[in-house]
A and B are shown apart, each in its own frame.
Chain A
Amino acid sequence: MLARFQWIPVFDRKCEKGDASRRRAMLGFAAGATLLVLRPGLVLADELEDALKDAFGMREIRRGRVKLEMPRIAENGNVVPVTISVESPMTPDDHVRGIHLFAQKNRVPRVFDVELGPWNGKAVVSSRVRVAMSQQIVAVAAMADGSLWSGAADVEVVTSDCGL
């Protein structure tokens, strides 16, 4: 309490502009403090955004055409099966060029990138991946016409020791 009483006059001397401006200064300070508190939550979302920007620049990513199948609850986050299927006729004119998988809360959000073509017949890929903690996994498919489509799945992880 003593420290607080001493601190307020110091703040007063700095402002010296009357009550209204002091209130505004306090409001600004409060807003700043709130932002600081919220920051950890924002960092994670930024990481997905950064990873997506790194992979696709500012291109628009639409929702749909991509189905991501993963278990709702993963007992072991070190080995989580994943199947990605993309709606596409896989013809020379209209096919999936690539599929990119992202786990936003992993230390390295990029999981894998695969390249496909009309010779695959269907755009379905399965693998097993590491999921460090409960999170939303996002798959993005790049089409031959340049459009990007995405699908997501929520995975709850019970244990994981992959270090990611």
Chain B
Amino acid sequence: MPADARRGQIIEIRTLVQHPMESGFRLNNVGKEIPRHIVEAFSCSYNGREIFRARLHPAVSTNPFFTFYAIADRSGDFVFTWSDDQGGVATVTQALTVFE
């Protein structure tokens, strides 16, 4: 995402998290099912308000990638959170400066 934007401008936000997204349907080399391990939820909040949320199922590719848009309203932080089905949570914070 950009570091700054004009007030009211629509900015593009691209997110990527490293994760195997193991579907739970694949078999290993001895024919045993590889247990499911997927990112279940991703959300983005801007100055404390949630602006994007995704619920992921096994059909989202390895290293889940999402692009979405947001209106630059006022300077502040974007907080991105990913959580997986084995209790793993990743959080990234990115600041946006908004000028008139």
Please give the residue numbers on chain A whose beta carbons come within 8 Å of chain B beta carbons, in ascending order. 78-80, 83, 103, 106-108, 110-117, 119-122, 124-131, 161-164
Contact = CB atoms under 8 A, between A and B. Distances in A.
A119 B68 contact: no
Interface residues on B, range: 20 to 34
Given A112-B60, A119-B49, A163-B23, A126 B66 contact: yes
A121 B57 contact: no
B67 A125 contact: yes
B91 interface: no
Nearest to A123: B69
B46 interface: yes
Contacts of A115: 50, 52-54
Nearest to B49: A119
8 contacts: A103-B59, A117-B51, A125-B68, A126-B66, A128-B65, A130-B59, A161-B26, A162-B59
A127 B23 CA distance: 17
A161 B59 CA distance: 12
- The 6 A-B residue pairs with the shortest CB-CB distance, nearest first, are A163-B25, A121-B10, A163-B26, A126-B67, A128-B61, A115-B53
B55 interface: yes
Contacts of A122: 10, 69
Nearest to A116: B52
B90 interface: no
Nearest to A125: B68
Contact of B26 (A119, A121, A127, A162): A162
A80 to B, nearest CB: 8
A130 B70 contact: no
B71 A121 contact: yes
A124 B27 CA distance: 35
A15 to B, nearest CB: 47
Interface string B84-100: 00000000000000000
Given A112-B56, A114-B54, A129-B61, A124 B66 contact: no
A96 to B, nearest CB: 11
A123 B80 CA distance: 19
